[in-house]
Amino acid sequence: MTTETGGALTVWRRTIALVYPVAPRLVVGLAATALVTGLLSGANVAALGYVVGSVAAAIEGGGWGSSIVAVGVLGGLQLVGQIAAAVSAYLNSLLTDKMANTFSLLVARKSAALELPDVENPEVYDKLQVASREAPFRPTQIVTGSIAVIQSLVSAISVFVVVAQWSLWVALVIVLAPVGEVVVSTIMNSRMWGVEIDRTEKRRMAQ
């Protein structure tokens, strides 16, 4: 498991190093919207708690002014979340198109620069075939997946801060829940890469 995780982290670092210089503003924009969305999770929980408390107080004889304000705040947070999701989807679309064009062109140039002995080399051929198939989508997938992990962590932390004020044990469960998903996702991505390499070699041998 340690070897697989280390290999996945190596692929991740190399991918980020390739993608970020091509579209730094899009990557930063996606990271910023992910951060906002993650923080909104905790804010929504806090606002919902405030709504419940203010409504309960109003039912017991208090005024409804606080309840109306609480509902307005909750609705405003929901609206901000919808806007952040729309912006994230738009930036993701732009990044996907830009990465597909850039890396496809890069692979084509690399292929054209190869000498005949290189093309006849099985290892070089396999890597070239994998790159040709994976270039249009894999780099963007790794980057957006990493940003999604960051968003999940920020969301878990923000919710933890709010829920811990009510119940520490429930807050701990919320924070620890995504850890298994992150570990499994990292290992599965590494294995999928290995499977793709193996399939490429089999296709070449079958030709």
Residue 36 reports pLDDT greater than 80: yes
Question: Each residue of 121-168: pLDDT tens digit?
Answer: 777 766 777 667 776 677 777 788 888 888 888 888 888 888 788 777
Question: Each residue of 66-99: pLDDT tens digit?
Answer: 778 888 888 999 999 999 999 999 999 888 888 8
Q: In the chain, pLDDT over 90 holds for what percent of residues?
A: 13
Mean pLDDT of the chain: 75
Q: Does residue 67 contact residue 55 with C-beta atoms inside 8 Å?
A: yes
User: What is the full DSSP assignment across 167-183?
Assistant: -HHHHHHHHHHHHHHHH
In Å, the largest CA–CA distance within the chain is 86
Determine the 3-state secondary structure of 136 from DSSP: coil
Question: Count of CB atoms within 10 A of residue 174's CB?
Answer: 20
Q: In the chain, pLDDT over 70 holds for what percent of residues?
A: 67
pLDDT on residue 203: 52
Question: Each residue of 38-57: pLDDT tens digit?
Answer: 899 888 888 888 888 887 77
